[in-house]
Structure 1
Amino acid sequence: MKFYLTFLFLTITYLATAQQFVVSGTIKSKESGETIIGATVASGRQQTVSNDYGFYSLSLSSGVHEIVYRSLGKESASQSITLLKDTIINIELSDASATELDEVVVTTNTNARSLRSPQMSVEKLSTEEIKNIPVLLGEKDLLKTLQLLPGIKSAGEGNSGFFVRGGSSDQNLIVLDEATVYNAAHLLGFFSVFNSDAIKDVSVYKGSMPAQYGGRLSSVVDLRMNDGNNRKFAATGGIGLISSRLTLEGPIQKEKSSFLVSGRRTYADMFLKLSKDSALNNNQLYFYDLNTKTNFTLGKKDKLFISGYFGKDNFTINNAFGINWGNATGTLRWNHIFNNKLFSNTSFIYSNYNYEILINPTIPEGLSIISKIKDINLKQDFQWNINQRNNLRFGFNLIHHTIHPGEVTPNSPSGSINPKKLEDRYAYENAIYFNNNWKASDRLNLSYGLRFNAFTAIGAGQFYNVNTNGEITDTLQFGKGEVVKNYFNPEPRIAASFLLNNSSSLKFGYVRNVQNLHLISNSTSTNPTDKWVASNNFIRPEISDQFSLGYYKDLFNATYELNIESYYKALQNQIDYRNGSNITNSLDPIEQSLLFGIGRTYGLETLLKKKTGRLTGWISYTLSKSEKKIDQINNHQWYNARQDRTHDLAIVATYELNKRWTLAGTWIYYTGDAVTFPVGKYSINGITAYYYTDRNSQRMPDYHRLDVSVNVLLKKTKKFSSELSFGVYNAYGRENAYTINFRDNKDDPNTVEAVQTSLFRFIPSISYNFKIN
């Protein structure tokens, strides 16, 4: 840590003496007044990008400059200035106008991977990029689109869960307007909780996340909601096979404040009620989302944002079994511009995830099981444009975690079931950080930083020590607020880019990440009933050290983009479960079911993207390995992690046939996930028991699928547009394995047969979408 602070001080001291002036301001959409994230601001070789709130700051020497502003889907703008003092330039960019077919149409974010930027392993998506990509039942899904990119793997058939660079699903930090979303799945994982109509920007950091992010080992998915149109009323919506959605936005006070309300609901349960079969019409299966946001301009230097997300799922089977789960988040943010170099964002954030299992809810013998996790978070972030060569980001983050791991409540206090509750757990997770981007030369750019994490588990409650056999050896009692265990972990990071020529560069990165919250699950992907547990006296923080090396090339005058990255991650304090553990609904201390060890993941990722013309799209390929080594599992030898998958290939194409018709398709192939199948069986009192050997030593069958879609523009005027989307999921009807179970053969009980369950074949979809300006 001393090295980093000394290096930072010397860099700032040496370079801050240069004579320079600053051009700063805010970049907005001319049509809606929305601030634009990630717009490029360039003058010659000097360039920067607008931050998450549209603010930019560019240091230039005195003299005449031509400043160019660019952003995806917008007309570029330029400004000529004679710079003799610090200058404020607020810019509005217009939507890109319709182009003739023989002209080049830019349809992807050309700045997703800057050749000069040292930032590695970052993927960016806009809603424009995903609107034509075919998905299950026509529900546009940001998380499923991310699975088509290298290093990001689907958690299974139709599932919105994902794995990044060999990490498990709980090692992904998903934030919506800075609030953590602990379960990002609807309908048991088949849809994500993010309504694309409400989302402005998505950034994914695959392990090499900047220092302002923390708490997970594998990735950060940072989603930003639309602010709301502050110039005119607008409405966007759609009607599909299983859900409808509507977004309303407009000014509260024109140019100074705005609102956004976006809702979505499925109606599968309504069709069930039409059935004459009582076994069906007593079932419920639906979810809803509600995104809200308001913002207020308090003056030239201050802006206030208030945003929230509320989502719920309800799944009930014939009044005998049910499960409800949902997220609620809220974010209050204050932006302040101290001067043309220093920008501040202060956030107060609330996040809550909970689920409830209902068993026979209508009779006295029934019961409910509930669990939840709640965060209260204060975050202060500063961005300081020191000079032409240095841009510093620093701040702190204070989080209070409350975990309600499980509670059983009978419907009737006089029944045969006794109430039982696991003790609530509390913890503080605090961090301070800095990250500096340093332009060392015209060819070499560096980014270095440090995040210092302090995690404190506190009482009240009982905590346990467990021996190697899973037996509790000691029970420790702590009072309310009493410190159970402190963990202090520095998280250094450094990245470098070296420009080989005007069209190619090499990059290197190293980052250490620490994770103090752990998901307890019997499945590979995220389920509603998974439980979060915090580090304590027995469960230690997970730690990863990742090294990355990449080559980046623009081809054919930047029409194509080629990116090749390799990585290696060494993992400490990895968690797995004892053989035979039942952890999902157990109310026994979780410590008795856990084993700990090390892990490693490594791989090669390739992306070839065509960015311009009628035909656009990409080919992504990932070759990877993910392993663990834990005492008492597979004789302490390396074994495959559950999410290990050797090959993963995705081909994505969009073709603009003419101004009205757009064709799109995706083809996906990947080798089977690691799984444990029985290798034999024996009979005990007429009951078959299966024999298992090495964990995760077998494979599910290979998976492949073709999805196609057609989008037809029905009408387009200045004030109204509409379109129809047709699609087919799994167009050639591949019977991909969702699960494989084993049973005795009916004709020969001495023989075991495997039974494969497949979910989706030839799933058509149709949806109608509209926009009112």
Structure 2
Amino acid sequence: MKTYIQKMFLLLLFPIGLQAQKLTVSGYVKDARNGEGLIGASVFVKELGNGNATNTYGFYSITVPKGTYTLVFTSVGFEKVTKTIELKESNLELTLEMKESGTELNEVVVKAKREDENVKSLEMSVNKVEMKTIKKIPALLGEVDLVRAIQLLPGVSTVGEGASGFNVRGGGVDQNLVLLDDAPVYNSSHLFGFFSVFNPDAVKDVKLIKGGIPSQYGGRASSILDVRMKEGNTKNLEINGGIGAIFSRLSIEAPIIKDKASFIVAARRSYIDILAKPFLTGNNANSKFNFYDLTAKVNYNINHKNTVFLSGYFGRDVFGNQFGFNWGNSTLTARWNHVFNSRLFLNTTAFYSNYDYLLDSDIENKKPNDRFRWTSNIVNHSIKPDFTYYINPQNTLTFGGQVLTYSFKPGAATASSAGESTNFGQPDKNGVEYSAYVGDEWKLSTKFSVQYGLRYSLYNYSSQDDVYYERVKVPVTNENLSGYDLKVLPNTKGKTLKTYDNFEPRFSMKYELGNQNSIKASYNRLTQYVHLMSNTAASTPLDVWTSSTNNIKPQIADQVALGYFQNLGPSGNDYETSVEVYYKELQNQIDYADGARLFLNPTFEKDLLFGKGRAYGVEFFAKKNTGKLTGWLSYTLARTERQIDGLNNGNWYPTRYDRTHTLNVVAQYEYSKKWSFGANFAYITGVPYSIADSKANVDGYSLPIVAPGTRGNIRVPDYHRLDVSATKKNKKALFGKGESEWVFSVYNLYNHRNPFSVYTRQTERTAANSETPVKTEAVQLSIIGSLIPSVTYNFKF
């Protein structure tokens, strides 16, 4: 393995020796309106027929032989800029600003990338959706939601309304690495999954990576959702906001030092509890049911080589009366961008992330001597440098590393009765993940490009308890269906109990068949050292995050994908189409023995069962980018299965994330400068669940019996829904200036009662039917069972 790594580094570094007698032009491409760096803007060298794209901070670098060149800068929604440069004796720094296109209202676009990126880019299994597009999609209660928008993309789904998170290509919600300015967010949902934690007024860029994952990303087995916050307007004061049926929002951004430093602050608060308070009486008078969040960022351009950023998020959900619970995320990210020279760019990131929840039987502290209180959290600290070396327009090298610490409190509870308290729960756990990576994007010819790399990760686990446990095999009994028990061993706190290390190779390739079509292929291995313990039908805020331990191995996923990409239309890029097939194998997958106790149980590891998983499918995608009518259609045919020893007689069974058919249609129509309309339709196969396949009669009552280990023997009925919206733009906003609009929307237009789950119950006996045998009936539970109209007022000035 050592020889293999040495050969890879030599291969990656080989092109560096070919750069004699060449000069470099580099700089930043920015939005002229607010000074923000443009992500993915194209910088094309006309004479050479190639170029590069700006990175996530708007930086670009192109190395060419001495001479005179014409650079063409393009970005969708912005006017093209052409610059003639002369490179004679020294490198050139060229930073410019691009103005928004004046034809934007007539030529509506639904992507924030280069026009031909669908075909030309090496990226596959990647979806980028501009915030302008997300804001036009009809949404629940008229509130723009990032996570609900990405669920309309191929390969993305959820187990149902009221479930936290999302699922990608058959993976669990914990298998998605959700990043907000590089800090991980462990629960991306407000209000039990109905809204996301991302304030749309503070989001700059959204990127979902489902496959072909570059080597700089790691730590999750399914996908990366990379969300970048706005940096703040360095030109002028800008205020955005909205007043809706369920919450209001407000964001303020402005320069601190014009063209050098700026800030943005965005806040939201729901007011269901405030609106309902006049109607609540008695014990319900003090009920709380709300969420709020605050997002902030500041940046300072010290000089042309150094820029620093500081951003943070704090959000919380509160639910309950005398007995209630709350949960929330907190993140803090510090970044330093440094340009060593015209070719070498460094971004160093340090972050803090904390997800915690509290369950309390006495939130008003009225009965401190008779109380139950349960807390849990997961905390991260990290530092990671990421280098980009622009060898030449054909070759870009990336490398870096990360140290990431984990502090787990899986669950600690205190029960008080008559003044006496008892503490119980799971011991605290710690983990440290070290990683290093190197990757290279190499344009071998005008048609053929590859991206390859290697990531290495090492994980150390330790426990803060006086003892630790080792799983041992025991006979299966009615009291122990897992067939495992735990042996107690002495522990020195802080001592490393288990170390795991893994190599994670990555590879992607693209071959252009013509100017408007290409084929792409990718392979990646991903390792995940954290796990979400949940044996419910849908993940909830009270599920438990835990570490890989001496008994729980890290999850490992290997995925291959193959795709065909075609652009069509009079301009060549009016329509995007693609079809991708993928196959994913997963090791060390977790399921649970019947009756498993996961919460506040120090010996929960004996109730876990392990095995393997697989997910495979085909994704079709078609998008119309220009004209008055825009939108997309996506269809996914997929299968997600597991094989766990001790479950389902050892046979493969569908997981709770398995959705055979998923169809989404999104349409947006710009009727005029004043009116626009939107609609989206979703049809999804129902999720699997387990139901009794036999029964026993006891004293005239029918008791349903599910065979031990049975998984997914029936499905919930299919899900389908239509949403519509209409947006009316006003001439003026608040205080007689700026912009404003009314958004009218209807969620679930034709009032379909979509099932969340199905369960069985027995009919009740009454005096009138006391002799009638009790029957068992199936009951369908719907979280949203009717249409929901809403009105929202948005403003900007």
Structure 1 residue 110: Cα displacement: 4.7
Match of 1:771 in 2: 796
CA distance in 1, matches of 2:164, 2:82: 41
Q: What SS is found at the alignment partner of 1:137?
A: helix
Q: What SS is found at the alignment partner of 1:604?
A: strand
Structure 1 residue 11: Cα displacement: 4.8
Alignment of 1:125-204 (within 5 A): 125-157=129-161, 159=163, 161-204=165-208
Contact 2:51 / 2:393 at 8 angstroms: preserved in 1?
no
Could you tell me which amino acid in structure 1 is paired with residue 471 of structure 2?
V
CA distance in 1, matches of 2:189, 2:280: 31
Change (3 A) 1:211 1:524: farther
Deviates more, 1:122-131 or 1:15-24: 15-24
1:550 to 550, 554, 563: 563
CA distance in 2, matches of 1:453, 1:100: 48
Alignment of 1:625-636 (within 5 A): 625-636=639-650
Does 2:533 match 1:530?
A: no
Does 2:43 match 1:28?
A: no
Deviates more, 1:144-153 or 1:90-99: 90-99
Q: Could you give the per-residue CA deviations for residues 701-730 of structure 1, whole angstroms, max 9, x where no partner exists?
A: 001000000011012599600000000000
Does 2:17 match 1:16?
A: yes
CA distance in 1, matches of 2:451, 2:303: 33
Structure 1 residue 5: Cα displacement: 4.0
2:294 to 275, 290, 294: 290
Q: Could you give the per-residue CA deviations for residues 615-663 of structure 1, whole angstroms, max 9, x where no partner exists?
A: 0000000000000001000111111111011000000000000011000
Contact 2:51 / 2:62 at 8 angstroms: preserved in 1?
yes
1:106 to 106, 109, 114: 109
How many residues were matched structurally? 766
Deviates more, 1:278-287 or 1:565-574: 278-287
Change (3 A) 1:749 1:144: farther
Q: What SS is found at the alignment partner of 1:248?
A: strand
Structure 1 residue 125: Cα displacement: 1.5
Extract unaligned runs of 5+ from structure 2: 474-481
Extract unaligned runs of 5+ from structure 1: none
Structure 1 residue 207: Cα displacement: 3.3
CA distance in 2, matches of 1:11, 1:276: 67
Does 2:423 match 1:405?
A: no
Q: Could you give the per-residue CA deviations for residues 109-148 of structure 1, whole angstroms, max 9, x where no partner exists?
A: 3538442332221111221111110011111001100000
Structure 1 residue 464: Cα displacement: 1.2
Contact 1:4 / 1:449 at 8 angstroms: preserved in 2?
no
Contact 1:505 / 1:552 at 8 angstroms: preserved in 2?
yes
Contact 1:159 / 1:191 at 8 angstroms: preserved in 2?
no
Structure 1 residue 586: Cα displacement: 3.6
CA distance in 2, matches of 1:618, 1:107: 9
CA distance in 2, matches of 1:428, 1:436: 27
Match of 1:714 in 2: 730
Match of 2:720 in 1: 704
Change (3 A) 1:443 1:3: farther
Match of 1:472 in 2: 485
CA distance in 2, matches of 1:373, 1:684: 46
Contact 2:162 / 2:192 at 8 angstroms: preserved in 1?
no
Match of 1:118 in 2: 122
2:93 to 76, 79, 88: 88
Change (3 A) 1:342 1:738: same
Q: What SS is found at the alignment partner of 1:467?
A: strand
Q: Could you give the per-residue CA deviations for residues 559-598 of structure 1, whole angstroms, max 9, x where no partner exists?
A: 1000110000111111000012132x34232202200001
CA distance in 1, matches of 2:513, 2:5: 27
Structure 1 residue 522: Cα displacement: 2.1
Does 2:584 match 1:579?
A: no
Structure 1 residue 414: Cα displacement: 2.0
Could you tell me which amino acid in structure 2 is paired with residue 714 of structure 1?
N
Could you tell me which amino acid in structure 1 is paired with residue 711 of structure 2?
R
CA distance in 1, matches of 2:773, 2:173: 39
Structure 1 residue 606: Cα displacement: 0.7
Alignment of 1:523-672 (within 5 A): 523-556=536-569, 557-583=572-598, 585-672=599-686
Could you tell me which amino acid in structure 2 is paired with residue 563 of structure 1?
S
CA distance in 2, matches of 1:100, 1:582: 56
Contact 2:29 / 2:38 at 8 angstroms: preserved in 1?
yes
1:251 to 255, 259, 262: 255
CA distance in 2, matches of 1:753, 1:72: 56
CA distance in 1, matches of 2:776, 2:417: 44
CA RMSD of aligned residues (A): 1.9
Alignment of 1:360-399 (within 5 A): 360-361=362-363, 362-363=366-367, 364-399=369-404
Match of 1:755 in 2: 779
Change (3 A) 1:81 1:626: same
Change (3 A) 1:14 1:52: closer
Contact 2:700 / 2:774 at 8 angstroms: preserved in 1?
no
CA distance in 1, matches of 2:568, 2:113: 12
Could you tell me which amino acid in structure 1 is paired with residue 499 of structure 2?
N
TM-score (norm 2): 0.93
Q: Could you give the per-residue CA deviations for residues 646-701 of structure 1, whole angstroms, max 9, x where no partner exists?
A: 00000000000001100000000011111111223224567754211331121010
Q: What SS is found at the alignment partner of 1:155?
A: coil
Q: What SS is found at the alignment partner of 2:470?
A: strand
CA distance in 2, matches of 1:757, 1:389: 56
CA distance in 1, matches of 2:702, 2:407: 43
Change (3 A) 1:114 1:89: farther
Alignment of 1:268-279 (within 5 A): 268-279=272-283
Contact 1:233 / 1:251 at 8 angstroms: preserved in 2?
yes
Match of 2:479 in 1: none
Q: Could you give the per-residue CA deviations for residues 295-351 of structure 1, whole angstroms, max 9, x where no partner exists?
A: 11111200111100000110013x1x2011001000111110000100001111100
Q: What SS is found at the alignment partner of 2:499?
A: strand
Q: What SS is found at the alignment partner of 2:667?
A: strand
Q: What SS is found at the alignment partner of 1:249?
A: strand
Q: What SS is found at the alignment partner of 2:187?
A: coil
Q: Could you give the per-residue CA deviations for residues 537-568 of structure 1, whole angstroms, max 9, x where no partner exists?
A: 11001101100000000011211000110000
Alignment of 1:227-266 (within 5 A): 227-266=231-270
Contact 2:370 / 2:418 at 8 angstroms: preserved in 1?
no
Seq. identity, %:
41
CA distance in 2, matches of 1:351, 1:265: 21
Structure 1 residue 433: Cα displacement: 0.3
Could you tell me which amino acid in structure 2 is paired with residue 496 of structure 1?
M
Change (3 A) 1:177 1:379: same
CA distance in 2, matches of 1:159, 1:617: 26
Could you tell me which amino acid in structure 2 is paired with residue 336 of structure 1?
H
CA distance in 1, matches of 2:152, 2:680: 9
Could you tell me which amino acid in structure 1 is paired with residue 738 of structure 2?
F
Change (3 A) 1:130 1:160: farther
CA distance in 1, matches of 2:703, 2:362: 30
Could you tell me which amino acid in structure 2 is paired with residue 458 of structure 1?
S
Does 2:313 match 1:304?
A: no
Could you tell me which amino acid in structure 2 is paired with residue 204 of structure 1?
L
Change (3 A) 1:15 1:331: closer
CA distance in 2, matches of 1:526, 1:329: 22
Match of 1:736 in 2: 754
Match of 1:332 in 2: 334
CA distance in 1, matches of 2:416, 2:57: 49
Q: Could you give the per-residue CA deviations for residues 37-72 of structure 1, whole angstroms, max 9, x where no partner exists?
A: 222222243122211111111223333322122223
Structure 1 residue 467: Cα displacement: 3.0
Contact 1:110 / 1:611 at 8 angstroms: preserved in 2?
no
Q: What SS is found at the alignment partner of 2:627?
A: coil
Structure 1 residue 8: Cα displacement: 4.0
CA distance in 1, matches of 2:757, 2:311: 39
CA distance in 1, matches of 2:186, 2:292: 17
CA distance in 2, matches of 1:591, 1:21: 59
Match of 1:519 in 2: 532
